Amino acid sequence: MKLTSLLFISFILSLVSAETHTWYFETGWVNKNPDGFFEKPMIGFNGTWPLPILRAKKGDTINLYLINGFTDRNTTLHFHGMFQNGSSQMDGPPFVTQCPIPPGETMLYNFTLTQHGTYWYHSHTSGQYGDGMRGIFFIDDTEPYPYDYDEEVMLSISDNYHQNSDYLTPRFLSRFNPTGAEPIPDSSLFNETRNASWVVEPNKTYLVHIVNVGRFVSQYLYMEGHEFEVVEVDGVLVEKNTTDILYIAVAQRYSVLIRTKSDASQNYAFMNAFDDTLLDYIPNGLILNSTNWIVYNETAELPGEYTTDLTQYFDDFYLRPLSNTTLYDDPDFVVTVDVVMDNLGDGVNYAFFNNVTYTAPKVPTLVTALTAGKYATNELVYGTNTGSIVLQKGDVVDIVVNNQDTGKHPFHLHGHVFQVIERHPESDTDVISFNSSDHAEWPEYPMIRDTVYVYPQAYVVLRFVADNPGIWFFHCHIEWHLDQGLAITLIEDPLGIQSNPNQALSDDFINSCTKNGIPVEGNAAANSKNFLDLTGQNVQVKPLPTGFTARGIVALVFSCIAGFLGMGAITVYGLADIKDVEHRVARDLDVDIDDDDADGATAFEEGSSSAGEVGK
């Protein structure tokens, strides 16, 4: 038989076997004690937490009805890593591709799976996935798996806070936290618990699909006496590569083969450890290295902590996709973004891409793209505070991220995977920005994924083809940093979005908007008469007066609040001896800090008029 007819038959078979999965999930709070140290409300589905592992296969259709069972908050759902090709409105981020779903309302997320591998789903509404609204979503291929294995198993890792976001976020995004110190997790989780035992059989090959569903901290994963053979990253199959230690940033996935020992008498430690360089300080009692077990013999003892040299962690940059996809052609368009964290006039610490801290528009960007007619190709209609960039259909696009911050950041692009063509090592002196005429040699077969970390004061260069008309968020996956505004919006082929009838807004979409009083037409300022008039758009808070520093804000704040906060908070922010700064700042600002009736604070509040949904 000819190859074409074989292909045709397998295509027909895959059509025949394509299934539709219909799920109804209602959000709500469930009291749980994930780490065994502290019970607290977690966001579950239908009164259950952890959330279910969803599983389907390539070509299947998903009908997921998300019922907002909360009484006091909106919600959304994002399917991390799924392309949503032709269904941008199912992607999840509020004010980017949908309206927030109000309490009591339902939204049908329906779309077709065009990929395979390890994915996950989570709320894209601030704070909710950190509070538990997250789960693994695995998609089987219609082709046989390229590597042999005996058993398949899922594994998530995460960080865990004893306080929920309602408590943490306003304190984080506050002038009382002017350095932007991220809340420190209280514990890490392994499969949404701790001290877990993974019972295995000897002489077997396990295929383990691993997802970091955490909101902040990257983790190392390593085992006593066993190795990982990496076979997939973020849904992309790769040539096998062996390592002792995985380094997994939040939102990243790895599939690995683990060969068990032939002798079943003994058990081994399976460690998950926080990357403590992300933490501003390490509180007493925080367990950085957590011990779980590979159990061969349930009556034998469980060993203690296993340690190794974590500097030998696996560098995903060197992976080669099994598809042998070569480096795409030179870019038609380059997006260069500089990452900075700094304070604005309300004293809050924000995150910036090119001096813009993402501020949600008044109508979702997708709505603007669909209703702006020919103006949809004009970046202006999407507002000046959304970091919107219009991409032409078919262009090869580079995203250059110059990280001027001293922390690592895991960046995620919706709607695509990208080639990681360069990642510069950390710089602990000057910031090193990408220089197109002086850079490392690029790989012939670059590694491909959807979430990549960039090192402190260094850069990463990503390349993809704009072949997916839609609105795609590009943001740091550390939820605290997204709350601080570390996001831009890519408007890919807006006329292509308009011309595809499948991209027309669903009834549920419109219902969510209407019930929330959000128009379903107009530019970023909700102006549908004149798309080029942005009057009234949401904009970021005004800058600080010149010469004003984070320490200065601390000083000013302390003069107002020392009475009720006490000096403990100074230790928290790691700052001391602020007395002189305080007076210098007071001079700059022309306020009287000796006056304890919070005049200074009032002056600040006037500056903070508009910051979108986040942190209010």
Ligand X SMILES: *[C@@H]1O[C@H](CO)[C@@H](O)[C@H](O)[C@H]1NC(C)=O
Assess 67 for contact with ligand X (CB under 6 A). yes
Question: Mask 356-395, x = binds ligand X (CB under 6 A)?
Answer: ----------------------------------------
Picked from ligand X, Cu ion, none, the partner binding residue 300 (CB below 5 to 8 A depending on kind) is ligand X
Q: Is 320 in the site for ligand X (CB under 6 A)?
A: yes
Residues in CB range of 608: below 8 A, 6 or more apart: 345, 346, 348, 541
476 contacts Cu ion (rule: CB under 5 A): yes
Q: Which does 203 bind (CB under 5 to 8 A by kind): Cu ion, ligand X, none?
A: ligand X
Q: Which of residues 500-559 bind ligand X (CB under 6 A)?
A: 502, 506, 516
Please state, in angstroms and as integers, the Cα–Cα distance from residue 276 to each residue in 177, 190, 287, following that order: 20, 17, 10
Rg from Cα positions in the chain: 25
Structure tokens, 377? 């190709």
In 261-347, where do the E strands start and end? Answer: 268-274, 289-295, 333-343
Q: Report the site for ligand X in 151-210 (rule: CB under 6 A).
A: 153-155, 191, 193-196, 198, 202-203
How far is it, in rounded angstroms, from Cα 487 to Cα 98?
A: 16
Of the CA atoms within 13 Å of residue 85, those in its CB half-sphere come to 12
Rule CB under 6 A: say whether 233 interacts with ligand X.
Answer: no
CA neighbours within 13 Å on the CB side: how many for 80? Answer: 29
- By CB under 5 A, the residues from 481 to 500 that bind Cu ion are 481
For 481-547, the three-class secondary structure string (H helix, E strand, C coil) is HHHCCCEEEEEECHHHHHHCHHHCCCHHHHHHHHHCCCCCCCCCCCCCCCCCCCCCCCCCCCECCCC
Binding range to ligand X, per CB under 6 A, among 178-186, 317-325, 363-371, 553-561: 317-325
User: 177: Cβ–Cβ under 8 A, 6 or more apart, which residues?
Assistant: 171, 348, 349, 573
For the bound state, the minimum distance from the C-beta of residue 570 to ligand X, rounded and expressed in Å, comes to: 26
- Binder among 300, 440, 532, 562 for ligand X (CB under 6 A): 300
Stretch that binds Cu ion, among 54-62, 378-386, 477-485, 544-552 (CB under 5 A): 477-485
> Which structure tokens are listed for 587?
């001079």
Burial of 256 (0-12, 13-18, 19+ CB in 10 A): buried
Closer residue to ligand X in complex, CB, 174/516 = 516
Kindly state the smallest distance separating residue 239's Cβ from ligand X, in Å: 4
Q: How far apart are CA 361 and CA 382, in angstroms?
A: 8
494's tokens = 């807006």
For the CB of residue 183, give the shortest distance to ligand X in the complex, in Å: 20
Of 308, 377, 392, 427, the one binding ligand X (CB under 6 A) is 308
Burial letters 211-223, b for 16+ CB under 10 A, else e: bbbbbbbbbbbbb
| Residue whose C-alpha is closest to residue 240's, from 227, 226, 251, 224 | 227
Q: Are 62 and 119 in contact (CB under 8 A)?
A: no
Would residue 48 be called left, alpha or beta, if left means φ above 0 and alpha means ψ between -120 and 50 degrees? beta
Q: For ligand X, which is the closer residue by CB, 4 or 284? A: 284
- 437 token code pair: 């005429």
Rounded CA-CA distance 138/120 in Å is: 7
Which CB atom, from 440 or from 562, has the smaller least distance to ligand X? 440
Give the one residue of 49, 79, 83, 411 binding ligand X; rule: CB under 6 A: 83
What does 613 interact with, of Cu ion, ligand X, none (CB < 5 to 8 A by kind)?
ligand X
Cβ proximity to ligand X, 104 vs 574, nearer residue: 104
Is 449:236 a contact under the CB 8 Å cutoff? yes
Residue among 284, 324, 429, 535 that touches ligand X (CB under 6 A): 324
Interface pick for Cu ion out of 122, 409, 416, 449 (rule CB under 5 A) = 409
| Contact (CB, 8 A) for 442 and 422 | yes
The option from Cu ion, ligand X, none interacting with 297 (CB < 5 to 8 A, set by class) reads ligand X
| Chain centroid to CA 209 | 18
Spatial contact of 451 and 119, defined as CB atoms under 8 Å apart? no
Q: Is 100 in the site for ligand X (CB under 6 A)?
A: yes
Per-residue binding letters, 335-354, with ligand X (x by CB under 6 A): ---x---------------x
Neighbours of 264 (CB within 10 A): 15
Return the number of the residue (390 or 611) whose C-beta is nearest ligand X. Answer: 611
- Classify the phi-psi angles of 328: left when phi > 0, otherwise alpha if psi is within -120 to 50, otherwise beta: beta
Residue 153, contacted partner among ligand X, Cu ion, none, CB below 5-8 A by kind: ligand X
Region of 315-323, 368-376, 382-390, 453-461 interacting with ligand X (CB under 6 A): 315-323
Q: Are strands 289-295 and 388-391 parallel, antiparallel or unpaired?
A: unpaired
Residues 465-484 that bind ligand X (CB under 6 A): 467-468
Output the six-digit token pair for 396.
């090869």
155 binds, among Cu ion, ligand X, none (CB under 5 to 8 A by kind): ligand X
Length of the chain: 616
Does position 31 interact with ligand X (CB under 6 A)? The reply is no
Figure out which of the listed residues 4, 5, 299, 429 binds ligand X, where binding follows CB under 6 A: 299
* Strand 40-45 with 487-492, pairing: unpaired
- 478 scored as a contact of Cu ion (CB under 5 A): yes
**Binding of residue 106 to ligand X (CB under 6 A):** no
Stretch that binds Cu ion, among 52-60, 107-115, 401-409, 518-526 (CB under 5 A): 401-409
Pick 310 or 526: Cβ nearer ligand X: 310
Q: Does residue 603 belong to the site contacting ligand X (CB under 6 A)?
A: no
Cβ pair 232, 254 in contact under 8 A: yes
Residues in the interface with Cu ion (CB under 5 A) total 4
Q: Is 286 a residue that touches ligand X (CB under 6 A)?
A: no
Stretch of 3-11, 171-179, 295-303, 519-527 contacting ligand X, by CB under 6 A: 295-303
Q: Is 561 helix (H, G, I), strand (E, B) or coil?
A: helix
Judged by CB under 5 A, does residue 454 bind Cu ion?
A: no
Residue numbers 322-361 binding Cu ion by CB under 5 A: none
What span, in angstroms and rounded, lies between the C-alpha atoms of 29 and 42? 5
What is the binding site for Cu ion (CB under 5 A)?
A: 409, 476, 478, 481
What is the binding site for ligand X (CB under 6 A)?
A: 24, 26, 35-37, 46, 53, 61, 67, 72-74, 83, 85, 87, 100, 102-103, 108, 110-111, 114, 153-155, 191, 193-196, 198, 202-203, 239, 241, 262, 264-265, 273, 288-289, 297, 299-300, 307-308, 310, 315, 318-320, 323-324, 338, 354-355, 416, 467-468, 502, 506, 516, 613
